[in-house]
Amino acid sequence: MTPFAAYLYLPLRAHQRVTWVYGQPGTWFGFWQQFTGSEVTGGLLRLPDSGAAWIQNLHFLAGHLTQQFPWLFLLVGLIGLLWLTRVDWQVGLAFFLVFLAAAVAMQWI
């Protein structure tokens, strides 16, 4: 939650009547556009409407993960999640569901 606190700065600065390069964070709509990134991404917080779109988003996620992290780190993370699920299936399932919910909410899969 701490990274999101930086967005609280936007309405504060808008209230001080500073000049903005783009957007209008002084309005609720403008703030929400900047918070969600919808002015850049279009509909980031929208669920895919077809099975093909889900597959395309899965490829997008896999591509970005493999660009940003070495395969070894991804493999270690997956093994760790599987080990956690084996040791305490409820906690492992909870971590997996939280990841899945975040990924769906951000339209990554």
For the cut 80, the answer to whether the pLDDT of residue 91 exceeds it is yes
Q: Is the pLDDT confidence value at 102 over 80?
A: no
Mean pLDDT confidence for 77-103:
81
pLDDT of residue 13: 75
Q: How far apart are CA 26 and CA 46, in angstroms?
A: 24
Q: Give me the residue spans of the domains in the chain.
A: 2-41, 51-105
How far is Cα 107 from Cα 109, in angstroms, rounded to an integer?
6
Q: How far is the C-alpha of 102 from the C-alpha of 108, rounded, in Å?
A: 8
Is the confidence at residue 43, as pLDDT, over 80?
no
Q: Is the dihedral of CA 35, 37, 42, 47 positive or negative?
A: negative
Distance of CA 99 to the CA centre of its chain: 10
State whether residue 59 is helix, strand or coil: helix
As given in the structure block, the two tokens for residue 37 are 């990134």
